[in-house]
């Protein structure tokens, strides 16, 4: 258990202490990190919440919070303030009036509406409003309120680090946006991965591919994978070794500016690019 270092405590309000009309609230500003954390926790990767490009063309023109993110904030107030520790959540009804966008500050308020002595249950009105006073969520929650007083140290949550595996990739692509595509010899692209990679790089404006290898094999792979290679020149060779030699020659005379490895061994490609020369030995120091 991680206890608060500054001794902060949370304390409940028992069923007998709570009066009709009593309320509690909290404020929270939505960050993109909140959306990502909620998606990780819930598994809800609806592109309306996660995909900025998709969201631009959607109803709200930008990513928005998951609806139940607001519901989770209501749960926070009920579980930590009113009634607080010892509360058992038994029911929730919500209506979502407006989206919550990144940067919105949401004020969550719960107000005791009805009490039931025989079951120790309390019904709360729930409302979430944004920084402009616009209601974004309304509803009601029913809980079993605690009957004994509880006062406990506030738990300090563990730090969570989010790692976006594709962030660096997107950053690099953005840096190349103003650059011209590079004429590139794609050597022996005779499997789906290497051929598709070359075509995707071309579509992204990174390279102008020249496909080099056995024509029949390359076309068979393209047809099987549904890859359109008609926009790209194809230099036919008998085998992978000849493809590597042809690519190295084209690079040496300036017909291409780069060489991209396909489905051949690295040593075979490098053997053509950096050939061994008789009589050459490492220089002494």
In this predicted model, which residue has the larger pLDDT, 5 or 274? Answer: 274
- Whether 134 is in a domain gets the answer yes
Answer whether the bond into residue 105 is a cis peptide, omega within 30°: no
Q: What residues form DSSP beta bridges with 3?
A: 155
Is residue 23 domain-shared with residue 147, that is, in the same domain?
Answer: yes
Same domain, 80 and 171: no
Domain assignment of residue 160, yes or no: no
pLDDT digits (tens, 9 = 90+) for 146-203: 999 999 999 998 999 888 777 777 788 888 888 999 999 999 999 999 999 999 999 9
Distance CA 138, CA 109 (A): 10
Regarding whether 112 and 53 lie in a shared domain, the answer is yes
The total domain count for the chain is: 2
Distances, alpha carbon 45 to alpha carbons 203, 269, 277, in Å: 26, 41, 56
Note whether 112 and 211 are same-domain residues: no
With CA atoms as reference, report the closest residue to 150 among 4, 1, 7, 11: 11
In-domain check, residue 213: yes
Which domain does 67 fall in, by range? 9-153
Task: Quickly list DSSP for 6-34.
Answer: T--EEE---TTT--TT-EEEEEEE--HHH
Q: Both 29 and 148 in a single domain? A: yes
Report helix, strand or coil for 39: helix
Residue pair 261/201 in contact (Cβ under 8 Å)? The answer is no
pTM score of the predicted model: 0.66
pLDDT at 90: 96
Same domain membership, residue 177 and residue 126? no
CATH number at residue 227: 3.40.50.10950
In a domain, 201, yes or no: yes
Looking at 108, 127, 153, the residue that finishes a domain is 153
Note the pLDDT of residue 6. Answer: 61
**Domain check: are 120 and 41 in the same one?**
yes
pLDDT in tens, 218-275: 999 999 999 999 999 999 999 999 999 999 999 999 999 999 999 999 999 999 998 6
Of the candidate ranges 20-29, 47-56, 238-247, 276-285, the one whose mean pLDDT is the lowest? 276-285
Q: How far is CA 207 from the centre of its chain?
A: 27
Q: Tell me: do 112 and 181 sit in the same domain.
A: no
């Amino acid at each position: 258990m991680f206890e608060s270092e500054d001794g902060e405590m949370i304390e409940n309000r028992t069923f007998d202490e709570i009066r009709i009309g009593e309320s509690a609230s909290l404020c929270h500003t939505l960050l993109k990190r909140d959306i990502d954390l909620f998606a990780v926790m819930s598994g809800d990767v609806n592109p309306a919440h996660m995909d900025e490009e998709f969201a631009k063309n959607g109803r709200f023109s930008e990513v928005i919070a998951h609806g139940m993110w607001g519901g989770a904030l209501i749960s926070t107030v009920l579980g930590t303030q009113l009634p607080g520790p010892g509360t058992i959540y038994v029911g929730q009804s919500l209506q979502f009036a407006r989206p919550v966008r990144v940067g919105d500050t949401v004020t969550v308020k719960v107000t005791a509406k009805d009490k039931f002595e025989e079951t120790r249950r309390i019904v709360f009105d729930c409302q979430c409003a944004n920084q402009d006073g616009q209601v974004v969520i309304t509803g009601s929650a029913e809980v079993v309120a605690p009957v004994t007083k509880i006062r406990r140290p506030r738990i300090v949550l563990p730090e969570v680090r989010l790692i976006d595996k594709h962030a660096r990739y997107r950053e690099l692509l953005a840096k190349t946006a103003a650059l011209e595509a590079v004429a590139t010899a794609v050597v022996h692209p005779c499997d789906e991965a290497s051929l598709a990679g070359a075509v995707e790089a071309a579509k992204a404006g990174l390279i102008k591919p020249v496909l080099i290898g056995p024509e029949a094999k390359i076309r068979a792979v393209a047809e099987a994978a549904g890859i359109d290679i008609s926009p790209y020149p194809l230099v036919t060779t008998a085998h992978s070794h000849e493809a590597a030699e042809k690519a190295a020659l084209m690079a040496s005379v300036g017909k291409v500016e780069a060489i991209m490895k396909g489905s051949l061994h690295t040593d075979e490609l490098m053997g053509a690019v950096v050939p061994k020369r008789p009589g050459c030995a490492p220089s002494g120091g």
